[in-house]
Structure 1
């Protein structure tokens, strides 16, 4: 494997190894999960949150997880001059037209307020539950990772993971972040917020996506 040079024009996917990547996020939960998964994969990568480089959040004006992940990765790479990895993820509830979707982090109007976002989702599902009390409400956690060698990389590496479960009518568990307390896993008989970090990484949307990305790198 080769170290990254600052001439990315002829980079190959494997050149991402033994390098520093910028994580186009300041979400501590995402950073911790990504770092754990990359360490498990034995990739010699130093992940730097963009906040440590004084990089402000990108304007996420895409209409899909894929678009927003690429926007964030290019933004962080352009400012840092380093390869950048971005995660765009959220919860899609098909019966709500796949809301909250790309607006998951600000579903209740305040970015990153997990408690308010969870409460808003419970509230919006109440009429549906009342009309169909015996019907399980399906939810899908989605994670799209975009990795760019440089800001204008014409061939970003894209990896996606989808984790299906059910949406609870009240939170359970204290682990994880985001909508984890409302995400019920029938096979495990636990919510995502009741899983250990190791259990979650083994089956989660982010775990799936990072493993797919690593397979492409190798």
Structure 2
């Protein structure tokens, strides 16, 4: 069965294909090449639904859309829904990461808690809509580490690692990330809904 992933971000397509291969190997996630809708929602759920509706309408297939970001507690949950544009409208991942580190440069480690959030919308051609959420708690490092992942991964230290051996997601292998990430957590919530397609 095919489902279209409503994104032009090749990193997200790769992540979803890896996640789906483990949990639903019968499901083929295909990339979306249609027009990009204006994401003018103020929540992850609103933006995910905007994208999924557009992709389903354009392709005639069931569509998945992820809207995700990093939420920093001391910043009141920001960058949040504005994570991709934190340093401006260019979607410059390096600039976004550098700005966030600069904003937190004098914040002590106990106050650097954050979490990644992934909100996934599923929209079917018949008009059924579902939204699921996955959160990945952790904290922010003081500098980037590792060459893996993308976006804010090199500064995010997930909870649950052995003391003294903590790594950022940038240090994780692709398999480690896909098994633990916010997207994987959200997708696990979505699996029962996909079974009804």
Per the TM superposition, whether the score is higher than 0.5 is: yes
Contact 2:137 2:159 (C-alpha < 8 Å) held by counterparts: no
Partner residue of 1:30?
Answer: 12
Unaligned runs of 5+ in 2: none
Partner residue of 2:123?
Answer: 148
Aligned residues: 191
CA drift at 1:186? 4.7
d(CA) in 2 for partners of 1:198 and 1:182?
18
Partner residue of 2:146?
Answer: 173
CA drift at 1:184? 1.1
Deviations along 1:126-180, one digit per CA (max 9) or x if unpaired, are 24x1xxx353411110001111112x71x41221100001011210111001100
Deviations along 1:6-47, one digit per CA (max 9) or x if unpaired, are xxxxxxxxxxxxx22111101111111111111112342222
**Helix, strand or coil: the match of 2:110?**
coil
Partner residue of 2:78?
Answer: 99
Q: Decide which structure has the larger Cα Rg and report it.
A: 1
CA drift at 1:211? 1.0
- Select 2:2's aligned residue among 20, 26, 51: 20
- Select 2:30's aligned residue among 48, 70, 75: 48
d(CA) in 1 for partners of 2:43 and 2:25?
29
CA drift at 1:197? 1.0
Structure 1 residue 137 corresponds to structure 2 residue 119: no
d(CA) in 1 for partners of 2:31 and 2:194?
21
d(CA) in 1 for partners of 2:159 and 2:28?
36
Deviations along 1:71-98, one digit per CA (max 9) or x if unpaired, are 1000111111211110000001121111
Unaligned runs of 5+ in 1: 1-18
| 1:1-218 → structure 2 map (5 Å cutoff) | 19-51=1-33, 55-127=34-106, 129=107, 133-150=108-125, 153=127, 155-188=128-161, 189-218=166-195
d(CA) in 1 for partners of 2:117 and 2:110?
22
CA drift at 1:58? 1.2
